[in-house]
Amino acid sequence: MALERISVSLDEDLIEKFESYLKVNGYKNRSEAIRDLIRDKLESDVVEQDKNGHCVGTLTYVYNHDERELARRLTRVQHHHHDVAISTLHVHLDHDNCMETVVLQGRIAEVQAFANAIISQAGVRHGKLNLVPAEVQGEKHKHGTSEHFHTHTHPKT
């Protein structure tokens, strides 16, 4: 992939804030930070505008496991959306609180509906959904002498 140079003019206040951003986030150069910021904005625009598009992502949330029937309700929501919830990591934070991260895949609108169903449960707090636009492609593969067809999900670049 060929890289193309561009010039950007910024006022001193913005440059100062940007230089601070570079240091805090560990960037070695301005170019990579600018590329990441542009990618992030473009990906978030796709997620906002194309609800029928596909995505991969994670939903992370903290909840009080003693909240009445909450664990059962969360499990029910995950089973109801078994087509988008691929895997769940469950961590015990302390005597009362758990954190779960659910790996998600599917149509943007369906993944967002799943996240909303989880985050809106009484007792769930600190819910955060992170999505990356993706393309789903059907592909035929050969493994040894057998051939099969399945789909692959590729993050959009």
pTM for this predicted structure: 0.73
User: 135 and 72 share a domain?
Assistant: yes
79 marked ligand binding residue: yes
Please tell me whether residues 28 and 80 are part of one structural domain.
Answer: no
Query: From start to end of 32-122, where are the E strands?
Result: 54-64, 85-92, 97-107
- Asked whether residue 29 falls in the same domain as residue 91, the answer is no
Tokens 């951003």, located at residue: 21
Are 66 and 128 in a shared domain? yes
d(CA 110, CA 81): 8
- For 119-142, how does the pLDDT look when each residue is reduced to its tens digit (9 = 90+)? 999 999 899 999 998 887 777 777
Number of structural domains the chain divides into: 2
pLDDT tens digits along 16-57 = 999 999 999 999 989 889 888 888 888 777 777 778 889 999
At 61, which CATH number? 3.30.70.1150
- 81 belongs to an annotated ligand binding site: no
Statement to judge: residues 64 and 138 lie in one domain: yes
**Residue 68 shares a structural domain with residue 136:** yes
Q: Which helix (H) or strand (E) holds 78?
A: helix 70-80
| Structural domain for 44, as ranges | 12-49
The pLDDT value given to residue 150: 67
The Cα–Cα gap between 115 and 58 comes to 9
